[in-house]
Amino acid sequence: MCVRLLLAGLLVLSACHLAVAQEASENTGTIQATIKSPYARRGEGVVFIKEAKGEFKPPEEHPVMDQQKLVFIPHVLPVVVGSTVDFPNNDVVRHNVFSPKKSAEQFNLGTYAAGVTKRRTFNEIGEIKLLCNVHAEMSAFIIVCQNPYFAVTDKKTASGTIENVPPGDYEVTFWHERLRGKTAKVTVKAGETAKVTFSRPSRKR
């Protein structure tokens, strides 16, 4: 009897989640943004809405910037302003994570051993480059956004899909390690996909 009641409860909970997801998809729209440049396929970028109305709380589950085999994973991590990012050292050597000058925020987590996780809360919007004082070949980026409407671009297509966007008029832009960002205006309608193409962006020098 207890097992039956448990299964029934799980089915009801699953149905509620599906109903909420369906309602969200019906009441919101999607933005599909593409960066038209051969350089955009040489690494991930971030497409995002520059500014949206409302207050956006950072997620309870911390975004993660991992360190494995002398590589930051992922190479690009977009987060909502106010988010706390975990920096676990899942390597077999010591690391020192820091951000250089011209980053939106400068910090240094210090040198720490394998198996240790350090954290940092990011309260400034913009690009934060990550480096390691111990291994000069390591680099990555955290892109701090004003809102949660962002997506990482696919290296094969240089496209990213921003989901669950409330209907309205927005300015969409992108960040890429090799390219200068551009901005485009877009109108989002419920249940529809708005497409944006950033053509021939100039390279960063």
pLDDT tens digit string along 75-114?
999 999 999 999 999 999 999 999 999 999 999 999 999 9
pLDDT at 26 over 80: no
With a cut of 50, say whether residue 18 has pLDDT above it: no
With bands split at pLDDT 50, 70 and 90, how would you rate the model's confidence at 205? confident
User: All domains of the chain, ordered by start, with CATH?
Assistant: 29-199 (2.60.40.420)
Task: Check if the beta carbon of residue 56 is closer than 8 Å to that of residue 80.
Answer: yes
Mean pLDDT of 52-66: 97
Convert 158-178 to b/e letters by CB count within 10 Å (16 or more is b). bbbebeebeeeebebbbbbbe
What pLDDT was estimated at residue 80? 98
DSSP letter, residue 41:
G
Asked whether the whole model's pTM tops 0.75, one would answer yes
Q: Which uninterrupted H or E stretch holds 27?
A: helix 2-27
Query: Which residues have C-beta within 8 Å of that of residue 204, sequence separation ≥ 6?
Result: 177, 178, 179, 180
pLDDT at residue 5 tops 90? no
Per-residue pLDDT, averaged over 9-23, amounts to: 40
- Rounded Cα distance, 121 and 134, in Å: 22
pLDDT (average), residues 22-46: 88
**pLDDT confidence band for 33 (50 / 70 / 90):** very high
3-class SS of residue 114: coil
